[in-house]
Amino acid sequence: MSRFLLVIPPLAGHVNPAAGVGDALAGRGHEVAWVCSETFIRPLVGPRATVYRTGTRLYRPLGDRGLAGLKSLWEGFIVPFARFTLPAVDGAIEAYRPDVVVVDQHALAGAIAAQRRGLRWASLAPGSMELTRPYRALPKVDAWISGHCVSLCAEAGLPRDETFDPRFSPYLVLACTTAALTGGAAFPDHYALVGPMLAGRAAGPDFPWDHLHPGRRLVLVTVGTLSAEIAMDFCTRAVEALQPLGDRLQAILVAPDGALPDPPPHILVMPQVPLLELMPHLDAVVCHGGMNTVGEALAHGVPLVIAPIRHDQPVTAAQVAEAGAGIRVRFARVTAAQLRTAVTAVLDDTAYRSAARRVGDSFAAAGGAAAAAERLEQLARSPAGQKRPVSSPMGPSAR
């Protein structure tokens, strides 16, 4: 039996896959503890789990896109979050004495604290933005990100080491994807692409299953936890796009109560849905490209229409389109007619569902949370200090 400490940021797309890893480790008889905002992690791990609280702060604005969104992500969230949580991570390591620290790529304090203490640590990559380093084509942007990492390490008293990047463990990197999506990216041997790490969720909302029409295709529209103004503009266009299709499909649109008054009878508007339970019933998903939703849809062989907004979402959307498992549209500019065309295409052209199933098969073969737990067990059993060399300074090689 080994002890694992998971350091996770208070973001749903990061907490959910970490919960899958934690469940798998606990199921294999290991001890698991968490460093996270208790508000986010407690509903998933239950009342008996050991949680070292970081507290919660409001960090970055929600509306930035493109390079402005990247800037706000790092300067408004990742960097201040690392500084704010480093004392809590240090305290958790001192109290819990883990054998391995598992660190989300956006929770840099976990990597820095583990490195300072000479502990083995693994990176958890829920999405592809950090994993494939899409900004390598923009050297100044890539250097700007690396500079933040170097500065944080220096502030924490780590000796300067150009090969150390707190986003990429030299021991083990666990990624919630597979080569079916990453395409030609090349990774070192200590990178384990295990696919989505699906886990049970807290009790979901009641759902009117008896309202589903058995003779119609079922489409889910969800844009995640966005501000009302941004989400409702897109959802209004989605309703307009799907309104003429009532004779052939039924839609479930996730939006706050009362946000879309008087929707057509074939469009069910709900503030929350039991996503994992719905997936086996869906014929298509329209979303903003959050890796949780995308991974869960593809794991069930469901094709997608993706309207990415910021951060890793454009990377994910591009990978899905390249794999043939969906269509990418422009979130801010897609018209109702264009969105309707995309939805009918993924419903009617069987090539999209076939490609989604191929990706889903690759996910199943990769092993998910069980495979991640096995790799973590191997790391815990390895001799202290043993690590594999990184392929290049500040991250992996990705071509």
For 117-171, how does the pLDDT look when each residue is reduced to its tens digit (9 = 90+)?
A: 999 999 999 887 777 666 666 678 878 888 888 899 999 998 877 678 999 999 9
pLDDT band per the 50, 70, 90 thresholds, residue 191: very high
The residue behind tokens 């704010």 is 84
Work out the number of other CB atoms within 10 angstroms of the CB of residue 65: 17
Do residues 164 and 231 share a domain? no
Contact between 35 and 52 (Cβ < 8 Å):
yes
| Closest to 371 measured CA to CA, from 195, 177, 123, 201 | 195
What single-letter DSSP state applies at residue 160?
P
Judged by average pLDDT, the poorest of 105-119, 201-215, 238-252 is 201-215
3-state secondary structure of 58: coil
Do residues 235 and 344 share a domain? yes
3-state secondary structure of 24: helix
Do residues 161 and 297 share a domain? no
Q: Cα separation of 8 and 113, whole Å?
A: 14
Name the more confident of 355 and 126: 355
Show the domain range for 128: 3-195+367-381
List Cβ neighbours of 46 (8 Å cut-off, separation of 6 or more): none
On the CB side of 318, how many CA atoms lie within 13 Å of its CA? 14
Do residues 64 and 189 share a domain? yes
pLDDT value of position 260? 80
Do residues 124 and 184 share a domain? yes
Phi-psi region of 99 (alpha: psi -120 to 50; beta: other; left: phi over 0): alpha
The residue behind tokens 């100044």 is 140
Q: Cα separation of 35 and 89, whole Å?
A: 7
Q: Is the pLDDT of residue 329 over 90?
A: yes
Q: Cα separation of 290 and 145, whole Å?
A: 22
Q: What is the DSSP string of 343-395?
A: HHHHHH-HHHHHHHHHHHHHHHHH-HHHHHHHHHHHHHHSPTT--PPPSBTTB
List Cβ neighbours of 310 (8 Å cut-off, separation of 6 or more): 64, 65, 66, 69, 70, 73
Do residues 42 and 180 share a domain? yes
pLDDT value of position 59? 56
Do residues 157 and 263 share a domain? no
| Percent share of the chain, pLDDT over 70 | 87
Residue 148 belongs to domain with CATH number: 3.40.50.2000
Q: Based on the structure, what is the number of domains in the chain?
A: 2
pLDDT value of position 140? 84
Q: Residue 110 to residues 54, 105, 119, 295, 392: CA-CA distances in angstroms?
A: 12, 9, 11, 25, 22
For 19-44, how does the pLDDT look when each residue is reduced to its tens digit (9 = 90+)?
A: 999 999 999 999 999 999 888 888 88
Q: Cα separation of 394 and 390, whole Å?
A: 8
Contact between 372 and 194 (Cβ < 8 Å):
yes
Do residues 355 and 217 share a domain? yes
pLDDT band per the 50, 70, 90 thresholds, residue 102: very high
3-state secondary structure of 178: coil
Here the tokens at position 247 are 């004779």
pLDDT band per the 50, 70, 90 thresholds, residue 335: very high
Do residues 82 and 103 share a domain? yes
pLDDT band per the 50, 70, 90 thresholds, residue 114: very high
Do residues 371 and 295 share a domain? no
Q: Is the entire prediction scored with pTM above 0.85?
A: yes
3-state secondary structure of 293: helix
Judged by average pLDDT, the poorest of 176-185, 283-292, 382-391 is 382-391
Mean pLDDT of the chain: 86
Q: Cα separation of 263 and 244, whole Å?
A: 12
**Is the residue at 35 inside a domain?**
yes
Q: Is the pLDDT of residue 62 over 90?
A: no
Do residues 304 and 373 share a domain? no
Q: Is the pLDDT of residue 192 over 50?
A: yes
Do residues 300 and 245 share a domain? yes
